[in-house]
């Protein structure tokens, strides 16, 4: 076999070619790695894009449902005036009138401190009254259909201390709640 020795200039050319081949391989692996990472990103993003497309397609339905929910909510809660104590006073007057129309004699009422609960302000009113059982039961049943919505928090009943009465009156203490949307 015949071996020829390489000259120094040939060694330089071989070295440069080796560096060039190494750089090409390195760049090729970099591109391949970037392509794999991009494919993974696309695979991760595709479901998010599909959800967004679905939301865009359902935008009209979502808007209609939101308007409908807002309308229904506005029937169930007091309109926001910015002052929960003013709404508490409105509720107090409304409940006093409702009780008196039902034949329940209100002897006192108190607006209780408002409480914030999940985007709503809970306004509460305590009423002290006297009533026979039948008007009280009718009144409590009518609260179910009252608008804005009224929730019965507590009811305390105690018979009046009188003897020999067929139609005994009850002392009633009741706490009622309703709601106001938080502004903001």
> According to the model, what pLDDT value does residue 1 have?
52
31-64 tens-digit pLDDT: 999 999 999 988 899 999 999 988 888 888 989 9
101-120 tens-digit pLDDT: 998 999 999 999 888 887 78
149-170 tens-digit pLDDT: 899 999 999 887 766 666 678 8
Closest CA to 94 of 43, 149, 49: 149
For residue 167, the SS3 value is coil
- 52: tokens are 């967004």
151 in Cβ contact with 178 (< 8 Å): yes
Q: What is the pTM of this model?
A: 0.62
């Amino acid at each position: 076999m015949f071996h020829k020795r390489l000259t120094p200039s040939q060694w330089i050319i071989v070295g440069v070619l080796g560096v060039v081949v190494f750089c090409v391989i390195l760049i090729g692996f970099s591109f391949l790695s970037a392509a794999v990472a991009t494919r993974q990103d696309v695979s991760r993003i595709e479901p998010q894009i599909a959800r967004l497309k679905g939301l865009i397609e359902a935008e009209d339905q979502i808007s209609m449902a939101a308007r409908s929910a807002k309308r229904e909510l506005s029937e169930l809660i007091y309109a926001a005036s910015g002052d929960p104590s003013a709404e508490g006073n409105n509720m107090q007057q409304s409940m006093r009138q409702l009780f008196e129309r039902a034949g329940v004699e209100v002897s006192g009422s108190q607006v209780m401190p408002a409480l914030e609960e999940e985007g709503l302000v809970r306004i509460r009113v305590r009423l002290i009254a006297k009533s026979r059982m039948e008007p009280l039961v009718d009144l409590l049943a009518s609260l179910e259909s009252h608008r804005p919505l009224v929730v019965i928090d507590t009811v305390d009943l105690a018979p009046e201390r009188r003897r020999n009465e067929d139609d005994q009156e009850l002392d009633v203490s009741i706490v009622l709640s309703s709601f106001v949307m938080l502004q903001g």
